[in-house]
Structure 1
């Protein structure tokens, strides 16, 4: 968002750095989510960029929420994603490896975290899972997020945590699929090649400023944000194409129920 604001205002990173009295590298880190922004610095930047009240309020909220303390220490790029998720109007997510975070059961989340973060203690893993569980309230609150997920068939076939974890997880997906704001579709193995081979991504549309979008990419050690309109449009189009080759929502639930029976 900040990069788009800066470019729209015709400002250079060096001008933003002069305003905050910092190095240009810090501006780059702030724009890509690798560093947080204090509320005071946020005020200086929105003034420099001439942002309207709606945009300014969204930037201030991002700055405040990203700096909140939690029991578990998370990197800045994770804090930024969690904050954007909390003020998103909709998220379109494609995952080829894992159940999307907002759809994970606590047991599944802990099994994944134990595998991907072997350095974490059992207590830390549980705290991380609890933090994720609190975020899932967005799916069923008074003004719920519109959440559209497309996953590979491999996601539901990989026995993470064994049947004792996977059965409840797949049953949870069936229940979530009944929510009017949630859609879940599976790309079957038989679909062959598709528009997002070798990648996973989220297209996030924010409530404020209305219609603002960004793309979030994550690997094992870092999260990346794409704010350019061409990059965002490309991923939005890729998601549309994924939906065109994925099973229908009804067929997806039928597939989930079939795999649940196989695990019994």
Structure 2
């Protein structure tokens, strides 16, 4: 079992797309080389599916990939085809990638305006969220499955070594706790417990800021020999999730996060 097959698939897709563009080969030409439809190559480059090893080798030669790049891609392909930890959780491919990346991250930066960030939620808060019928992690996921996924996700992220985690909460996410007296104390305690960890910081936004259009997560995975080390931005919305690895998009979100981080107030100071 591989820990990160979905993340490997995304990294392989990014490499294939980058190599094709650098070589000046079009999708049509790449598809013609291996005798398939251009939409098939497009699906590989969007991590919707993975190529056969023989097709990958033909494309690598067409793109003039180096031996190191070929070795990295074949390793990623092997990883992508294995069973992952989250396969049974009925998560979307985007959420599987997010959860896998959290497990192998060096840093996680989160801005969440109206909700307590998922990595900081207590089980009681999670149940309260489910009660107001926010979009579930999967349409077919039962409450029991969601809670089991919550436990496993927290255990995997907060096992040594814990990545560097910076969480920025909107003030409204804490104000809503006033209506949940049975949840409030435990959730505030959890935020303080996390903030006390050496690699975790929690801050609260109390004024106008650069991320008022919405929250997001930036993850820097470990740049391992297997190659699953592509930084990305994860954006969640009512109509689905977006996993964006374009370097310009990641850079813009990093800049926004740093502006928001400097304007936010440490949780301990806010709660005094």
Q: TM-score, normalized by length of structure 2? A: 0.75
Task: Give the match's secondary structure for 2:87.
Answer: coil
Pick from 216, 221, 224: which aligns with 1:206? Answer: 221
CA shift in 2, pair 1:82/1:255, >3 Å: same
State the partner residue of 2:91: 74
Aligned CA-pair RMSD? 3.4
CA contact (8 A) 2:34 2:59 kept: no
**1:93-242 → structure 2 map (5 Å cutoff):** 93-114=110-131, 115-117=133-135, 124-159=142-177, 162-188=180-206, 191-192=207-208, 194-208=209-223, 209=227, 212-242=230-260
Distance (Å, rounded) in 1 between the aligned partners of 2:87 and 2:129:
24
CA contact (8 A) 2:108 2:163 kept: yes
Give a deviation string over 1:204-249, Cα, whole Å, max 9, x none: 11102486311111112311122221111100000010011111x3
Task: Give the match's secondary structure for 2:100.
Answer: helix
CA shift in 2, pair 1:77/1:211, >3 Å: closer
Structure 2, unpaired ranges of 5+ = 1-10
Task: Give the match's secondary structure for 2:82.
Answer: helix
State the partner residue of 1:262: none
CA shift, 1:140, in A, is 2.8
Distance (Å, rounded) in 2 between the aligned partners of 1:150 and 1:159:
16
Give a deviation string over 1:60-95, Cα, whole Å, max 9, x none: 54553558531x422222222222222222111111
CA contact (8 A) 1:195 1:238 kept: yes
CA shift, 1:55, in A, is 6.6
CA shift in 2, pair 1:244/1:6, >3 Å: same
Give a deviation string over 1:118-167, Cα, whole Å, max 9, x none: 8x99x811221220221112443122222111111111111387111222
Task: Give the match's secondary structure for 1:202.
Answer: strand
Larger Rg computed on CA atoms: 2
CA shift, 1:182, in A, is 0.8
CA shift in 2, pair 1:230/1:174, >3 Å: same
Distance (Å, rounded) in 2 between the aligned partners of 1:76 and 1:20:
26
Structure 1, unpaired ranges of 5+ = 259-264
CA shift in 2, pair 1:224/1:170, >3 Å: same
Distance (Å, rounded) in 2 between the aligned partners of 1:20 and 1:99:
48
